[in-house]
Structure formats: C-alpha cells, structure tokens
Amino acid sequence: MTTTTPSGPIQRLLIANRGEIARRIMRTCRLLGIETVAVFSDADARGAFVADADMSVALGGNTPAESYLRGDAVIEAAIRTNADAIHPGYGFLAENAGFARAVRDAGLVFVGPTPEAIDVMGSKLQAKQLMSEAGVPLLPSADLTGLDASAIATAADEIGYPVLIKASAGGGGRGMRIVPTPADLAEAVEGAAREAESAFGDGTIYAERYVSPSRHVEVQIFGDQSGRVVHFHERECSIQRRHQKIIEEAPSVSLDDETRSALHDAAVKAGEAIGYTNAGTVEFLLAPKTSDRDAEFFFLEVNTRLQVEHPVTEAILGIDLVQLQLEVASGGSVPEQADIGPVSGHSMEARLYAEDPTLDYQPSTGPVHALHVPGSGPGEPIRLDTAIDDDGEVSQFYDPMIAKVISHGPTRNAAAGQLAAALAGTTIDGITTNRDLLVRTLRHPEFLGDANGDQGDSDFLVRNDPVELGRPLVEAADLGRYAAAVALAMQAESRRADSKTNSISSGFRNVATQPQTRTLSVGAQEIVVGYRFCRGQLDHLSIDGTEVKDPTVFSIEPAMVDLSAEGVRQQFRVRSHGSTISATTTTGSVLFELTPRFTEPGEHVEAGSTVAAMPGTIVAVHATVGDQVTAGDLLVVMEAMKMELSITASSDGTVTAVPIAAGDTVEAGQVLAVVEEAAAE
C-alpha cells in the first residue's frame, strides 16, 4: 500500500467538508500555523466556516451531490489554491476510497487511511469477513444481495428475530431498520435498500441479529506507516435516536477491567488486520453482564475517519486527535501504547440538533438568531464545537446538527451535571432544538445510575417517552415570570428610545398611573402582563390579572432583567428578533411571540389535505387518486435534512388528489395529498 507524503510538514490544508467539523479542523490548523482552504456550496456561502478559512472556493449548487460530493471539483480547488493536503472531515467523501485514491493520484496528501483500507471497510460485509478471519467476535448475519423474498425470509429466520436490516455502505443510522416480526420484513428491506441507495449510492443491505437492550462502545485507534496500531481507550455512545448518537461519553461505565482489556485488544487486532493508518474507530455492540451470562461484545464496523464524538477522547487524554492526524499524514509516528497517558476524569458530549423530539424528531430549518452556551468561552470549562454563530441558518440540504457541547469533570455525574447546566442555560433563538430532551436525559435517574446500576442503554429513548423528555424545561407555572421579564425589558427599551427624543416613557412617571399591559404568546397560550412604575420603582405586577406579591426589580435593561417575583429572584437574558423575543435563565428559556410570524403550514388549504411540514424531496408516492385509506396508512415518503419522513393518512377516507410525484422538491405547507374523510354512519 502506497501513500503520498509531503516533502515537509503540511503548510496549506483544504478541508473537504463544512460546518462544525470544518471549523474544528481549522482551530487546530491555526495552532500549528497551517493555512486553511474551505470549499462551500451556494447554501453555505455565508457560513461561519467559510469566514474562518484563510481562503475559500465555491463549489456551486446546494445539495451535497451538487457540491461537497463532487470529488473532482474539490481536488481541483486544492490544486488551484496550492494546498498540500485534503482533510475530509466526516461524512460526504470521508470514507470514499475513490476520492482518497484520486487525492493521492493528484500528488496531494489525504489526511486519513489508505484507499485500500477504506475499500475493505467501506463494505460492512467485507469488513465482517476480514474480522472473522482475524478472530474478532461477530454477530450472526446474512448478506441479502440478490436474494428473493423467500430466501430473505429464510435468512432472517435463521438469524432469529428481532433482526436489524443495515446498509453495507452506510452509517449514521441511514438504511437501517429494526424488524421485530416476519410480517415487518418486506417493507423494512425495501425501505432500507431505497434509503441506502439514496444516501450512499449503494443499495446493498444485510441482516444481523438485533441485540436489545445493548450498549454501543467504540475504541479509538490510530495507525502509522510503520505498521504500528495503538488504541486511545474507548467511548460509549448508547444514547441514540433513530440509531444515531446524541450523547457520547468517555470512558465507558459499562465495562469491567477484563472486558475493557479484551475490547481494546480486539480493536487493535482489527486495525492490524486492515493495515490501518491514521485515525479510525472500531465499533462494538456490548451485551452487558447479567446474573447468568458474562458480558459479550461483537464487532459492528470500522469507521475509517475521525468521529463526531472525538472530543470526549481528547478531553480525558489531553490530546489533539486532529493534530495527530496531520502529523501521521505527514509521515510521523503514533506513540507507543505504553506512552499514551492514563484516563483523567470523565467527559460527555451532547449533540444539539435542529429537531423537535415531541414530533418524532422532525427536523427544523431556518435562521438561528442567537446561540450562547454559558461557560464556553476561552479558558472556561465547556467546549463548544459549533457550525454557526449568531445569525446563522440551518439549511434543509444538510444534517440538522447545530453544535456539540462537551464537558469534562472528575466523575461521570459531575460531567453530566456540568453539561446539563450548560445546556439548560443556553440561549438559542429562532429554531426548535432537542436541547430540553438532552437536559432531561442527562439528569434522568436511569442515565445517572438507578438502583439496578444502569446508565442508559441503547433502548433508553424507547423506554422513556421523547415527548415527555422533550417538553420545555420551564414549567407552565413559571411562564409568568419569564413573560414579566420580557415585558419589563420591552419597557426598558421603550424608555431608552423615548430618552433619545427627550420624551418620558409613561411606564416610568414620577406618579402612579394605571398599569400598562403587554400580551405575549407561547404557542396557543396568551399571557397578559400588567405593570406599573412609580418614581422609578415597580409598584405593581400582575400575570393574567392576578397580582404578583412583592415584585422587585433589582436592575432592568433591554437585554437583562434581574427580577424577584413571589419571593423568587432570577436574572433573565432577553433578546428580541423581529416578532419574537426570548427570555433565558440558568434553568431554561422561553421564546415568546409578539404577533404571529407566519401562517402555519396547511392553515388555508382544502379540508383533508396533508401538507409538507418542511422543505424536502419526494422519495416515493404510495397513494393514488381513488384509493380507500385508513388512518395511519402510508401516503408519501419524503426526505428532508438526511432523514426519510413517512407521511400518513390522518383519517379514514378516499384519496381525491395527489399533486406531487417522486423526485419533486416541495416547500413547507405544500399539499402532498388530499383525503376526503369517510362520512359517519
């Protein structure tokens, strides 16, 4: 296996990725004095990562296929800017052997493993065969390529239900379906193959035994050109939704010393079998120890790239994995295993997604007016790896992850508490996120270790209702205080504006007057705040007509209100953006509407219409005009933000219109199908 190494250290690096990972790589490059080149799509022209780079090249287009997946255009951009090397980040071309080979053939350094290693590990089926030969434990599985429905059913029966259908070329939960019974098999196979073809250009799928409950534990490995492979300990990534990780931590709390040692040895053995160089992750499924069975682990896959969750490994070992990637790509060596330091404390990472857990994790798109995570500044304890700054935007074309928030504490509970507090106090305006679900998960007794010693396995978000976990952190009984803070901040802004025109705001007269009111809304709920100032002091405050006892304002500014109401004092950060205004404390935040911003999708459409909740692309149409359907029947499958969404009938009836077709691009609020409800008998 050959590789290209520079005549000296890398001096200019093109990053063939976007968003958070591009910015994170640039951060290390700045520390090392390496110049950076960004490539960007039309949708990302104003992205923060583009501004962070020393220079940038437009790829054109909006979708990944039109931009970041165009390997020839990326390589041409590297040559045009005199870059020495290309770092693929994760996703897009990161595990594309053809791209790695083309980079090498162009005389550039690919910061990653060899194309040959990517080739072998790019097919999970090939990887399983190689791991079997190397003696790494495997789950029972079957290649479904070319099999008819009968043969697929036989293979699944031999594996034993429940089975998991997976994309051979995939990752990130795409092309994956759990099949609990034989009756669910045909639809799962069809859906997984279709999604795999769409996401990876390869519809090859296989089945393996589904172990539940289980834990997802992975080992960070590194190899160099001398053939040495070492591990940098393990991470646990068991808290997942739709088979995609949302909370990761290091080290794992699910391993005893014997199992941990065996897991590390198996990961190194896997890397040696591949002839692995640079950073990679060997992923395992762990069936924890029970009263009648020792802990078992099974090989899942090797991710031939840097992982999203790499910061937790960096935190517990005090290393920079991107720096080591660049050093190895330049011909450097990995350290001896004995020289890799011991684990220090515990680290956790939470993925902040633009999605609504209370609506089946439906992705959100649109502007992010403000993003502030307390404690994440220079020298502070929280690490923030983010794709955007204030006034950024979440696009429909890419993954909905906004940021990664990382903590590091002396113990697991300390790390969880630190991370939960940072997320609870986060200001993020303009878009719905999974922030509240993350906080409630991090504080959940089961996650922290209940009487049975569990710390949250892969079924945590199956056993625990996402709607309950995702509900607002601010309880309904406390909304009034937040509304009052907003009303007072608005009054302070009015007073400031009036002072500039030498007038006196009526709310701050030297004599008492009738209380003024502000009406704010949270969803369908309206809150009326009444207030009155006398001689500059708040002497009356009411919420929905009920007077608040002992209201005291310690300070009041348009952006900050220090208010005591009913004996509870809090400081509120207040930010306004057009018709919305938010109030955030260390324990949660509320976004208020001053006036409706827009018509809800489907508000003014024909009765019985099913509409798109967000922009997306139609993948498949299952309904035709004249069909008799029942509530829950599948009508349309659409893709938005790297996720397939199943659109179903909301009632029994007859399909009277299907104004879309497979391949169509639709906007939020666009009618997908109309079902005329069956008349009541």
Amino acid identity at 655: V
pLDDT of residue 235: 97
DSSP conformation letters of 123-171: SHHHHHHHHHHTT--B--EEE-TT--HHHHHHHHHHH-SSEEEEETT--
3-state secondary structure of 283: strand
**CA-to-CA distance for 304 and 577, rounded, in angstroms?**
42
Residue with tokens 């009526």: 506
Q: What is the Cα–Cα distance from 409 to 413, expressed in whole angstroms? A: 8
Question: Would the pLDDT of 453 be above 60?
Answer: no
Kindly report whether the peptide bond that precedes residue 251 is cis, defined as omega within 30 degrees of 0.
yes
For residues 345 and 250, the answer to whether their CB atoms sit within 8 Å is no
Q: What per-residue confidence (pLDDT) applies to 97?
A: 95
- Res. 599: pLDDT tops 80: no
Q: Average of pLDDT values for 208-220?
A: 90
Least confident of 7-21, 139-153, 290-304, 335-349: 290-304
- Cα 469 to Cα 358: distance, rounded to the nearest angstrom: 8
What pLDDT is recorded for position 597? Answer: 38
Average pLDDT estimate for 447-453: 67
The answer to whether the beta carbons of residues 299 and 137 sit under 8 Å apart is yes
Contact 339, 18 (CB under 8 A): no
505 pLDDT higher than 60: no
Q: Give the Cα separation of 465 and 455 in Å (integer).
A: 17
Q: Cis check for the bond before 213: say yes or no (omega within 30 of 0).
A: yes
Q: Note the helical H segments in 33-114.
A: 48-52, 71-80, 97-105
Is the per-residue pLDDT at 603 higher than 60? no
Q: For residue 500, what pLDDT is reported?
A: 58
Burial of 598 (0-12, 13-18, 19+ CB in 10 A): exposed
Q: Is pLDDT at 473 greater than 50 in this prediction?
A: yes
The bridge status of strand 177-179 relative to strand 383-386 is: unpaired
Q: Please name which of 389, 393, 390 lies closest in space to residue 366, comparing C-alpha atoms.
A: 393
- How many other CB atoms are there within 10 angstroms of residue 381's CB atom? 14
Mean pLDDT, rounded, for 275-286:
95
From CA 431, how far away is CA 369, in angstroms rounded? 8
Res 520: pLDDT:
93
Mean pLDDT, the chain, rounded, equals 88
Decide: 310 and 220 in contact? Cβ < 8 Å. Answer: yes
Count CA atoms closer than 13 A to 340's CA, side-chain side. 22
- Predicted TM-score (pTM) of the model is 0.82
CB 518 within 8 A of CB 544: no
Laid out side by side, the sheet with 401-409 consists of 296-303, 278-287, 215-223, 229-241, 244-250, 346-353, 401-409, 383-386
CB-CB contact of 400 with 435 (8 Å):
no
Residue 509 in tokens: 């007269």
- How many Å apart are CA 97 and CA 114, to the nearest integer? 8
Contact 111, 121 (CB under 8 A): no
Q: What is the pLDDT of residue 7?
A: 53
Percent of the chain with pLDDT over 90: 59
Alpha-carbon distances, residue 1 vs 188, 330, 372, 627 (angstroms): 39, 16, 46, 58
Q: Which helix (H) or strand (E) holds 32?
A: helix 19-32
What pLDDT is attached to residue 413? 95
> pLDDT tens digit string along 521-578?
998 899 999 999 887 789 899 999 999 988 999 999 999 999 999 889 999 999 988 7
Query: H/E element holding 189?
Result: helix 185-200
- Which tokens belong to 502? 């030498």
Separation between Cα atoms, residue 611 and residue 595, nearest integer Å: 23
Which three-class secondary structure state does DSSP give residue 648? strand
Label residue 227 left, alpha or beta by phi (over 0 means left) and psi (-120 to 50 means alpha).
left
Phi, psi of 158 (to 5 degrees): -70, -35
What is the chain's length?
681
Range name among 87-96, 269-278, 464-473, 588-597 with the lowest pLDDT average: 588-597
Range in 248-257, 296-305, 633-642 with the lowest mean pLDDT: 633-642
pLDDT of residue 596: 43
More confident residue, 428 or 602: 428
Express each pLDDT in 222-233 by its tens digit: 999 999 999 999
Half-sphere exposure of 20 (CA within 13 A, CB side): 24
Domains located in the chain, CATH noted: 12-111 (3.40.50.20), 140-209 (3.30.1490.20), 215-469 (3.30.470.20), 476-593 (3.30.700.30), 609-677 (2.40.50.100)
> Can you give the pLDDT at residue 604?
55
Q: Pick the more confident residue, 491 or 410.
A: 410
Summarised one tens digit per residue, pLDDT across range 134-167 is 889 988 888 888 899 999 999 999 998 999 998 8
